């Protein structure tokens, strides 16, 4: 390769690295949004919840900026093979990160509503537990993305099954409370909507894990079983 070609290659690598770092920065903000949303709920902190709602525009701005960066790379560089997979995986990943941000905002709005109601003795510990679980999933997913670690991605995807089990338990508990005390229906409905938003964050984390497998292995494992995902990750 001549010097000009080498220089262009270095520029391209730098552009791809910039995009990867931008995704991780967006992910860090999203993770902070999740943790603050859960904290605002469990600590009855409406002011923190308002902060989460106000900061959602920052998540959206990251998505728009990264999307534009990816469009510019496709237009200027016409990437092929693994480089193109990286750009495609990034575009898909930021969509899921933006949706996780939306769910964090939704949790914060529910936290404000619940702050105006009578609180249970356990201070919503069940929501705190599942919330911390999905926040850890998002953190580990971003780490797997940074390291392009397919084994870690598959392991994290399996965590979504545990989140689903926790979610089912919360829903059953909420229904029981509503049947035993009709006065709790309004509050329990908000709890159920909050649990649903948290559960969706787990789903989006799992989606990003699937993109990691696609990025590294070139295999599309969406809408397949975890067993198939594990099989493709080992090839």
Structure tokens that stand for 116 in this block:
């105006």
pTM of the model as a whole: 0.92
Q: What distance in Å separates the CA atoms of residue 150 and residue 54, rounded to the nearest whole number?
A: 35
Burial class from Cβ neighbours inside 10 Å (0-12, 13-18, 19+) for residue 176 reads exposed
Please provide the size of the chain in residues: 235
Say yes or no to pLDDT of 8 above 80. Answer: no
Q: Identify which of 124, 114, 127, 111 has the alpha carbon closest to the alpha carbon of residue 201.
A: 127
Domains of the chain: 3-234 (1.20.58.220)
pLDDT for residue 45 is more than 60: yes
Q: What is the crossing angle of helices 3-42 and 185-217, to 10°? A: 160
User: pLDDT tens, 156-168?
Assistant: 999 999 999 999 9
Q: Among candidates 130, 15, 124, 137, which has minimal Cα distance to 79?
A: 15
The model's pLDDT over 145-199, given as tens digits with 9 standing for 90+, comes to 999 999 999 999 999 999 999 999 999 999 999 999 999 999 999 999 999 999 9
71-104 pLDDT tens trace: 999 999 888 888 999 999 999 999 999 999 999 9
50-61: pLDDT as tens digits? 999 999 999 999
């Amino acid at each position: 390769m001549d010097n000009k070609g080498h220089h262009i290659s270095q520029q391209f690598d730098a552009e791809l690295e910039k995009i990867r770092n931008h995704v991780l920065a967006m992910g860090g903000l999203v993770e902070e949004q999740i943790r603050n949303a859960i904290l605002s709920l469990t600590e009855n902190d409406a002011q923190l919840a308002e902060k989460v709602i106000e900061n959602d525009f920052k998540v959206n701005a990251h998505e728009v900026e990264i999307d534009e960066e990816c469009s510019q790379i496709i237009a200027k560089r016409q990437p092929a093979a693994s480089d193109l997979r990286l750009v495609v995986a990034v575009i898909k990943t930021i969509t899921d990160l933006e949706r996780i941000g939306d769910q964090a905002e939704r949790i914060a709005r529910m936290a404000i509503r619940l702050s105006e109601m009578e609180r249970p003795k356990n201070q919503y510990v069940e929501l705190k537990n599942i919330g911390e679980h999905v926040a850890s999933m998002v953190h580990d997913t971003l780490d797997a993305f940074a390291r392009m670690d397919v084994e870690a991605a598959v392991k994290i995807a399996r965590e979504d099954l545990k989140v689903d089990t926790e979610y089912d338990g919360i829903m059953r508990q909420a229904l029981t409370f509503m049947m035993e005390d009709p006065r709790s229906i309004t509050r329990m409905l908000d709890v159920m909507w909050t649990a649903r938003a948290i559960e969706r964050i787990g789903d989006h984390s799992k989606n990003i894990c699937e993109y990691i497998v696609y990025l590294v292995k070139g295999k599309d494992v969406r809408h397949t079983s975890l067993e198939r995902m594990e099989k493709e990750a080992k090839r």
